[in-house]
A and B are shown apart, each in its own frame.
Chain A
Amino acid sequence: MSSLLIWIVLIPFASAALLGFLHLLLPKQRSLHALYTVSGIAAPFISALMSLAVGWELFNSSDDMMIHAIAFNWITLGDLSVNVAFMADRLTAVMLFFITFIGTLIHIYAAGYMKEEEGYGKFFSFFNLFMGSMLLLVLSDNPIMMFVGWELVGLSSYLLIGFYHQESANMKAANKAFILNRVGDFGFIIGLALLFTALEGTGYTFEAIEANITTLDSSLVAVIAMLLFVGAMGKSAQIPLYVWLPDAMAGPTPVSALIHAATMVTAGVYMVARFAFLYNEVPQVGVYIATIGAVSALFAALIASYQSDIKKILAYSTMSQLGYMFIAVGLGAYSSGIFHVFTHAFFKALLFMGAGAVIIALHHEQNIFKMGGLKKKLPLVYVTMFIATLAISGIPPFAGFFSKDAILAAAFASEHYMIWGMGTLTAMLTAFYMFRLLFIVFFAEGKMDGKLNPLPRTMTWPLVVLALGSTTVGFLGLNEAYGGTNIFSSFIALPDLSHHLSHKSEYLLGMLNVLMAVMGMGLAYRLYAKSAEEPQVNNVWRRAVVNKFYIDEIYDTVIVRTLRHLSVFTDKIIDQKGVDGILHVAVSGYKSAGAAFAFLQNGKVRYYALYILSGLSVLSLLLLNALGGM
């Protein structure tokens, strides 16, 4: 069983290497398409089957069961001993399940979406590279290997955002994503290094850290917890490191669905849940995380309500939903957080894939105000996206209701009313911007003439599978108040900080959430169901929101330009005037630096070189003599 863990990670990497090699060897060969498709899809599929086996094994064992597999020793130096080793507990099993399952579906979808592209093989190579890295991230038994996976998903994200690399704008977006992620990773690595030095060689696997965490000074743990969260801010697009995510939509839509919605961006939430033992030591940091999450959720929902690019709306929506997840894990409701990761993966992947289908059908149109009336023309896409929209808006019995309800209940129960309030307001906005999208695209009168592109079947039936998922997976988290036993949270067995809430208040909160969603929905219906014109940017508030509060411009002016000016300054002033200036004076001993150069150009240096040469020759002859005579 344990060697399965190694194969789960290895197979996608191997497939990525193979496809990449073939693509470089025969870049323009279209005859290899079949091979690319088979190998590209087979890799996540095989990993999915093996993940199911691992999950089944864990399901049938006690809840603290862990499966270990050591591939090889990575490094041993001083107290640092790190193995390339994998560990699966129940948290891992959940992550594995949806990453490989949804990953396989999106790979199938991509085979249809990308079939006309020249870089088809390259695409699947990068896509499999991502799968391998993501699986390494969740399966790793120590933070160092997790960090390796963490960085490699960032790399694959960079490569895939910049997939259409002829457009400079896309590469800019890719750079932005990688750089902001690295800024987060800077915090992450400092956290890891501090943790390692504080542990003083008592082992550096998650289990060993958990065993020794109580020996550490709690203020140090708080600092470490904060720093690790900085990494999560980058990867999971929270304020202030979120600005890359909307731009990341420059990548092909399957990439947005898999990486920038379902899996990679949730790595930050997974990391906090993985370090639950550490975050439980310092609940005050958790509150800070939850606050960042709540502010991000509200902020992103607000911007999403004003966007007109279908993918950007979904991107901000992702950021907003990630905010919910951080509210949960920040307040110690880890299983609710992971549950939302889980349900969100289904309906958000579905939304993106539906959006991708619309985009392909409309010949790469992304502005929702240029769409409309697609209800009749794309019925399957319409129905599935409707389901996903209901799910994300938190309408029971669709999946999002249960997970979001659990998070808001946790915020209420732990008496963080401010966070709870922001979350509830966000719930209304969520329903508003999602139904706005749905109504404008499918209901409002159409503005598109001409024939739609036909959709291949590989692009449509994954939508159906995910729609089924979005309808049903919520019941896994049905809690006592609604007559369930919360199978999900008892399976995943995370060390939640529990707060009691009476059934009556649960019902009230649930009803309030539904009410908020219905209000948002109604508002969207009133404004956009009949006809929709692209709104005029006519007042300060609108202009500010449409321009995303000018955060990009501020970053650009304060950081990017300053650095560029500084760079010119180092060259033109410090080096040329400063260092070389001193040098010229020192070298020449003359009054002016100009004279120093005159001295250089007189060729006396050549004499000097000649002098060294002759000196060296004499010494070398002596040396030869000595070596010869031995």
Chain B
Amino acid sequence: MDPILTYIIFLPMLTAALLGLTRASLPLLRLGTVLSSLLVFVLVMFVSMDFDPDGGMQFLRIVPWIAHYGITYYVGVDGLSLVLLILIAFLMPLLYLYMWKERRKGYWYNMMMLQTGVTGAVLSLDLILFYLFWETMLLPIFVMIGRYGNGMHQFNAMKIVLMTVLGSMSMLFSILYLGYDLFKQNGWWSFALSDLSMLQLNPQTTIWLAGGFLLAFAIKIPLVGFHTWMAPAYSSAPTPAVVILSAIMAKLGIYGLWRFGYGLFEQTLSYYAPFMMILAIIGLLYYAVHAIMEQNLRRMFAYSSGSHLSLIALGVFLTNVYAWGGSLYFIATHALSSAGIFIMIGLLYKRVKSVTIDELSGIASVAPRFAFFFVFFALSIAGLPGTGGFVAELLIIIGAFKVNVWIGVLTATTMLSSMLYIFWMLQRTIFGPPSMRTQIFVDLNSRELAMLIPIVLLLLITGIVPSLFIPLFEPYVTTALQDLMMTIGAK
């Protein structure tokens, strides 16, 4: 009964509450935020050092919450959630560093709330608790876009809220139905994942229930057809929120698919799998084509993100060790690359007040360091060997070939899809003669380097020595797949 996960979840929110109630001054607020995020990082490092890859769900903590309905505060970590946990703890301090000059206090409070929301969602093992955190992370995003965003920010904030709430509601309905059904069958209430996954339901119902979850996750990822909130939200949101949207929240959609999709509905997912795979493959190519003509860098990389998340989603439905391992690895490495590129776009905006490709050119001539980092992150998104993305894509491609040659060929188009937009974009923004706007361009300062270098190093290490990381989650993937095969085989 180790409370360490609870600290990790609530430390940012408590810091925010404490600082808010005492009406802390800006420097104090800044210091408090950074310290709390560093403390969280240290705690997460402790967790990952004590973590036993073969030990299944660990650091469990179960506290009755709304006892009458069997709702508990139930958290724990396994190989799947550990990857996301480390990622969040690693990225948040860097984002706070990015925000260093930010004077609007609400901005800081929202970011801390967001950190608690996403961390909680990753660690929750009770569905009501998960739902609570799932919604908790939406509100700060709504405020960040609606209040601190740019462009048509209020309208775009509503669009994302409306669409994600549509998903959340359908998921909530499924959760409540599952709980009620458990009560009907057994006479006691529970919303714990471990209890609900034991439920025997009639196949017709599970198709609807699984659909409720899938809708929520499909919108969050987003899969093609559920994506029109994405580009507006990315283009209006302030940079830290964009990074969280793309690097963390979109990944939570995938996480949900894994944890709750496969946790609750193994059978039914194989019913949905062909449709989802088709959507994912379409998404992989559709978003990439969409990105080609985008003039706004944020929108371009929103579509880029959509394309790669479709690939990750595809890997999840390809149920074998390579595809799952690759998808899980891609969650981490793509988060790093996309965090990197969106931070670079943010820094670009700070300097030239524009993210429109036509207005930018020749940055490499005036700011070589900026150009280096920008090109590095862009190429890491294109899956350059030596960066983690290459390893992940390779694994997913191999996994796809294990399933079916044609799916394999379609999956391998990921080698081509990102090139469609990345290289042309680089040619027009970073290279060429300097434009009016970029003639005076301050190169990166030491604070900015301090927040970018860790991401670059981690991307290189994940690409050069993946064997350092894969053993962390390999047992999870193997056992989860064995369980899956047994369940499907048994019925």
Residues of A that sit less than 8 Å from B by CB: 23-24, 27, 72-78, 80, 122, 144, 147-148, 151-152, 155, 162, 165-168, 171-172, 174-175, 178-179, 182-183, 185-186, 189-190, 193-194, 196-197, 563-564, 566-568, 570-571, 575, 579-580, 583, 587, 600-601, 605, 608-609, 612-613, 615-616, 619-620, 622-623, 626-627, 630
Contacts and interface: CB of A to CB of B under 8 A. Distances in A.
Given A567-B290, A609-B139, A623-B132, A189 B397 contact: yes
A478 to B, nearest CB: 41
Interface string B113-133: 000000000000000110010
Given A73-B467, A193-B397, A627-B6, A568 B427 contact: no
Contact of A622 (B66, B368, B395, B419): B66
A75 B467 contact: yes
B28 interface: no
Contacts of B384: 151, 155
B289 A566 contact: yes
A186 B420 CA distance: 14
B83 to A, nearest CB: 14
3 cross-chain pairs, A with B, having the tightest CB-CB distances, nearest first: A567-B292, A78-B321, A567-B293
A263 to B, nearest CB: 18
B325 interface: yes
Given A147-B385, A566-B289, A575-B228, 11 more contacts: A27-B369, A73-B467, A77-B322, A80-B322, A148-B390, A151-B384, A155-B379, A166-B362, A175-B427, A185-B415, A189-B397
A74 B139 contact: no
6 contacts: A77-B321, A151-B385, A152-B386, A567-B294, A571-B290, A605-B162
Contact of B432 (A72, A171, A197): A171
Contacts of B322: 77-78, 80
A186 B415 contact: yes
A579 B474 CA distance: 38
Interface stretch (B200-208, B254-262, B332-340, B401-409): B401-409
A579 B427 contact: no
B413 interface: yes
B464 to A, nearest CB: 8
B394 A144 contact: yes
A122 B230 CA distance: 38
Interface SS of B by simple majority: helix
A595 to B, nearest CB: 15
Contacts, number: 179
Contacts of B372: 24
Given A77-B470, A144-B394, A579-B225, A27 B432 contact: no
A630 B165 contact: no
A575 B226 CA distance: 10
B290 A627 contact: no
A568 B385 CA distance: 31
B484 to A, nearest CB: 15
Contacts of A168: 427, 431-433
Contacts of B161: 605, 608-609
Question: What's the interface size class on B, roughly?
Answer: 35 or more
A190 B291 contact: no
Nearest to A626: B65
Interface string B359-386: 0001011001100100000010000111
B371 to A, nearest CB: 9
Given A155-B384, A567-B292, A605-B162, A75 B470 contact: yes
A568 B295 CA distance: 11
A72 B424 CA distance: 36
B292 A583 contact: no
A178 B423 contact: yes
A77 B474 contact: yes
A399 B349 CA distance: 58
B106 interface: no
Contacts of A178: 419, 423
Nearest to A168: B432
B153 interface: no
B472 to A, nearest CB: 12
A563 B401 contact: no
Interface string B417-450: 0011001101100111100000000000000000
Contacts of B158: 600, 605
B65 A616 contact: no
A120 B97 CA distance: 34
B316 interface: no
A175 B375 CA distance: 13
A571 B135 CA distance: 30
B391 interface: yes
Nearest to B159: A600
B395 A186 contact: no
B293 A620 contact: no
B331 interface: no
B475 to A, nearest CB: 11
Given A24-B369, A183-B416, A567-B290, A190 B132 contact: no
B364 A165 contact: yes
B286 interface: yes
Contact of B325 (A77, A196, A580, A612): A77
Contacts of A80: 322, 395, 398
B466 A24 contact: no
Contacts of B289: 563, 566-567, 570
Given A166-B431, A605-B158, A616-B139, A570 B290 contact: yes
